[in-house]
């Protein structure tokens, strides 16, 4: 490979990294904005149905309109965050870390890694 092709590859990789960082910088604040406005969203959807929160059906619908997107957003956020953390734990590195350890130490390290990277 010549120097020009190496520079082109490095520039392309830097551009991709910058696009990812820009996407994250835009998406994370939007995620928090949407998350903190979920009660307003649930109230709006409930108003569209014509029910009032003072009734059992109205309260059940409000709970559904509020908690369903909340759970999905939290799940998506956790999976995304854990995906980023897992990029730092390659399987080969984990195997090398755990191999050759005594049973108690190996199990403790494995459990600790399982806590840090649950998915």
pLDDT of res. 112: 80
pLDDT of res. 97: 75
Size of the chain, expressed as the number of residues it contains: 119
Residues 66, 43 share a domain: yes
Do the Cβ atoms of 110 and 89 come closer than 8 Å?
no
Residues 15, 52 share a domain: no
User: What pLDDT, in 10s, does the model give residues 10-20?
Assistant: 777 778 888 88
Mean pLDDT is lowest, of 38-47, 58-67, 91-100, for: 91-100
pLDDT confidence tier of residue 9, bands split at 50, 70 and 90: low
Residues 84, 64 share a domain: yes
pLDDT of res. 1: 55
- The percent of residues in the chain predicted with pLDDT above 70, rounded, is 89
Residues 62, 30 share a domain: no
Number of domains in the chain: 3
User: What pLDDT, in 10s, does the model give residues 73-118?
Assistant: 999 988 888 888 777 777 787 777 778 888 888 888 888 877 666 6
Query: Where in the sequence is the domain holding 21, given as residue range(s)?
Result: 1-36
Copy the structure tokens of residue 4: 């020009």
Residues 114, 99 share a domain: yes
Average pLDDT value over all residues in the chain:
84
**Residue of 45, 73, 75, 72 whose CA lies nearest to 61:** 45
- Give the pTM: 0.66
């Amino acid at each position: 490979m010549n120097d020009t092709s190496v520079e082109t590859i490095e520039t392309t990789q830097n551009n991709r990294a910058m696009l990812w960082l820009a996407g994250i910088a835009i998406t994370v604040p939007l995620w928090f904005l949407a998350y903190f406005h979920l009660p307003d969203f649930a109230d709006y959807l409930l108003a569209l149905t014509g029910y009032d929160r003072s009734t059992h059906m109205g309260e059940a619908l409000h709970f559904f309109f509020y908690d369903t997107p909340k759970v999905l957003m939290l799940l998506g956020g956790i999976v995304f965050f854990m995906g980023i953390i897992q990029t730092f734990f390659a399987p080969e590195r984990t195997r090398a870390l755990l191999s050759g350890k005594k049973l108690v130490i190996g199990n403790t390290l494995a459990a600790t890694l399982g806590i840090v990277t649950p998915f």
